[in-house]
A = this chain, B = another copy of it.
């Protein structure tokens, strides 16, 4: 069906243009009308593709999850700790690139999670959980705690580092350093047999 193709194409167009504009002028300073006219469509059409303006950001967030899945599959590694570490380092790296935008993405992701409007966080946690279950089964990993709790804690630390980083006056203070120190603490607990 050609119809579907076109729809996907347009959604992608809207998404890319939005991101581009957000980066240039800042999320708040770009109206839906601006996006629409930049895409050569009417305002109403935008809402046929994204129910709310903020859903563009959630869409961006969901692409991070795809990234995680890719890493889990490609990055074979004997040591589970370094694998997990690698996943988050990678996530934080993409984060650092377009910090302002992803700050908003995180904030919208959490917001929508609390409004039960999107399941991005849940998906991320589940993906990690599966990885831990796998690692437990193949004997790569042992822990007194259950995989779901562990993943949840890790995801928590991830978001928390981002928040902590945003809060720190000095943007020099490295995001990765903040994450690492928190990671070391919790991993110490996770590894408990």
Give the interface of A toward B (CB within 8 A).
Answer: 103-104, 106-107, 110-111, 113-116, 119, 121-122, 125, 145-146, 149-150, 152-153, 155-157, 159-164, 166-167, 181-182, 184-190, 192
A160-B152, A166-B114 known; A188 vs B192 contact (CB < 8 Å): yes
A185 touches B150 (CB 8 A): yes
Q: Are B167 and A116 in contact (CB under 8 A)?
A: yes
Q: For the complex formed by this chain, how many copies does it contain in all?
A: 2
In the complex, the chain B residue whose C-beta lies closest to that of A155 is B160
**Which single residue of chain B is at the shortest CB-CB distance from A118?**
B167
Alpha-carbon separation in the docked complex, A162 to B119 (Å): 15
Determine whether the beta carbon of A110 is less than 8 Å from that of B107. yes
- For A155, what are the chain B residues with a Cβ–Cβ distance below 8 Å? 160
Report the separation of the CA atoms of residues A182 and B150 in the bound assembly, to the nearest whole angstrom.
Answer: 8
Residue contacts A-B, CB under 8 angstroms, 19 given: A103-B115, A107-B110, A107-B111, A110-B110, A111-B111, A113-B166, A113-B167, A114-B166, A119-B167, A145-B185, A149-B182, A153-B185, A155-B160, A156-B157, A156-B182, A159-B160, A185-B190, A186-B186, A189-B189
Nearest chain B CB to A164 CB, angstrom units: 5
Q: Which of B104, B121, B185 contacts A167 (CB 8 A)?
A: B121
